[in-house]
């Protein structure tokens, strides 16, 4: 009995020590800068940052949580606490925030990383991205938030960045409930084999896609992507993401754009693509997607276009348009498609 009591007391002591080991650090009440609090924090600690503007570029540490103070009251475009707690990087080098394994970034505005070229952005918006080159997509640059490995990025607002807003280079991070707008790259970019969970984000007004996949296979779920210069969601370079439940509308090109090679094989299911200036879903350059149960309405050229030697499965989609000459489904340029069970209103198949 004595041994059992000693063992139980030992376990209780260990639990009490473990539960009390995580600290909460406060900026600026306890630390003058956010980075100094990060440097002092240990794994499992939380850093709470008061509203204000902080001119720092941050390097997070493993297992810490960096969070703005306040509750989850909704503001104008994101959480109110994110709108009031601003990381503005007029000077410096490196990503605005560089994540670390197991770290969480929750509720900040990140802006001013690199140069947002308003004139160049407007030119390509006006010309529907027809003069843009594909080559810079996926190239190395300086993002608002750099994510490598397992981390969580949630409830942030990222805008007016000279490159991609949130850049994911490998790993399986969670990118949830962020707003990314007016960047000179994609709003969110998944690259280098990433299998990220990208869910519940809003991406608009970005130079390339709202959410882009380059040689990666994330889950892209329940996001809103609109008003981007290229696609709402762009999939290329051998990516095979699962793309479900997204709303892609009023983009200058396609709602969802899929291209570059037979190894680009996404599952695109249950999305709403409406009122895009070109296709609802566009497939080109030999890509091989499965397109199922999507709702495509009012897109200005075709609902689904398959060109450039591509090969698509088009199944159980709802396609409609209120007039206009182009067909709802176009399969051209030595492309092939298996087309079954679709509902078409306002156009046909060519």
Q: Does residue 350 form part of some domain? A: no
Looking up residue 321, the CATH number of its domain turns out to be: 2.160.20.10
Say how far apart CA 294 and CA 299 lie, in whole Å. Answer: 13
- Asked if residue 16 is part of any domain, the answer here is no
Residue 6 lies inside a defined structural domain of this protein: no
Q: Is residue 31 part of a domain?
A: no
Considering the chain, what percentage of its residues have pLDDT values greater than 90? Answer: 85
pLDDT band at 81 (very low <50, low <70, confident <90, very high): very high
Number of structural domains (the chain) is 1
Percentage of residues in the chain having pLDDT higher than 70: 91
Q: What is the pLDDT of residue 117?
A: 94
Take residue 125 and report the two structure tokens written for it: 């918006």
Helix (H) or strand (E) holding 315: strand 311-315
Answer yes or no: is 15 within a domain.
Answer: no
- Backbone φ and ψ for 254, nearest 5 degrees, come out as -90, 155
pLDDT tens-digit profile of 153-212?
999 999 999 999 999 999 999 999 999 999 999 999 999 999 999 999 999 999 999 999
First to last CA, the chain: 83
Sheet hosting strand 85-88, strand order edge to edge: 52-54, 85-88, 109-111, 157-161, 179-183, 202-204, 224-226, 247-249, 272-274, 295-297, 318-320, 343-345
Nearest to 251, CA basis, from 214, 205, 287 = 205
Element (H, E) at 122: helix 118-126
- Which residues are CB-neighbours of 64 under 8 A, at least 6 positions away? 38, 41, 42, 43, 44, 45, 46, 47, 100, 103, 104
Between 131 and 240, residue with greater pLDDT: 240
**2, pLDDT greater than 50:** no
The answer to whether residue 136 scores a pLDDT higher than 90 is no
Residue 12 in domain: no
Q: Is residue 62 included in any domain, yes or no?
A: yes
In a domain, 2, yes or no: no
What domain range includes position 269?
A: 37-345
């Amino acid at each position: 009995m004595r041994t059992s009591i000693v063992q139980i007391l030992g376990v209780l002591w260990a639990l009490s020590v473990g539960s009390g080991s995580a600290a909460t650090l406060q900026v600026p009440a306890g630390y003058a800068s956010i980075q100094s609090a990060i440097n002092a924090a240990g794994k499992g600690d939380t850093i709470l940052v008061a509203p204000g503007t902080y001119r720092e570029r941050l390097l997070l540490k493993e297992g810490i949580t960096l969070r703005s103070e306040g509750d989850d009251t909704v503001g104008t475009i994101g959480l109110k606490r994110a709108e009031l707690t601003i990381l503005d990087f007029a000077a410096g080098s490196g990503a605005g925030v560089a994540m670390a394994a197991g770290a969480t970034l929750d509720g900040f505005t990140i802006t001013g990383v690199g140069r947002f070229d308003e004139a160049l952005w407007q030119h390509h918006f006006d010309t529907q991205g027809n003069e843009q080159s594909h080559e810079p997509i996926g190239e190395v640059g300086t993002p608002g938030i750099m994510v490598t490995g397992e981390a969580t990025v949630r409830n942030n607002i990222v805008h007016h960045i000279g490159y991609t807003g949130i850049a994911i280079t490998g790993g399986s991070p969670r990118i949830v409930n962020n707003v990314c707008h007016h960047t000179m790259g994609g709003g969110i970019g998944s690259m280098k084999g990433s299998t990220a969970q990208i869910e519940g984000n809003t991406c608009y007004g970005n130079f390339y896609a709202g959410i882009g996949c380059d040689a990666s296979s994330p889950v892209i779920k329940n996001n809103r992507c609109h008003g981007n210069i290229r696609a709402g969601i762009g999939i290329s370079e051998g990516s095979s993401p699962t793309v479900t439940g997204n709303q892609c509308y009023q983009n200058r090109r396609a709602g969802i754009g899929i291209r570059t090679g037979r190894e680009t094989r996404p599952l695109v299911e249950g999305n709403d693509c409406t009122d895009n200036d070109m296709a609802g879903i566009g497939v080109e350059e030999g890509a091989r997607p499965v397109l199922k149960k999507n709702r495509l309405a009012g897109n200005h050229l075709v609902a689904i276009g398959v060109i450039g030697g591509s090969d698509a499965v088009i199944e159980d989609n709802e396609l409609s348009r209120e007039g206009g000459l182009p067909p709802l489904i176009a399969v051209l340029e030595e492309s092939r498609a298996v087309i079954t069970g679709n509902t078409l209103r306002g156009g046909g198949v060519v």
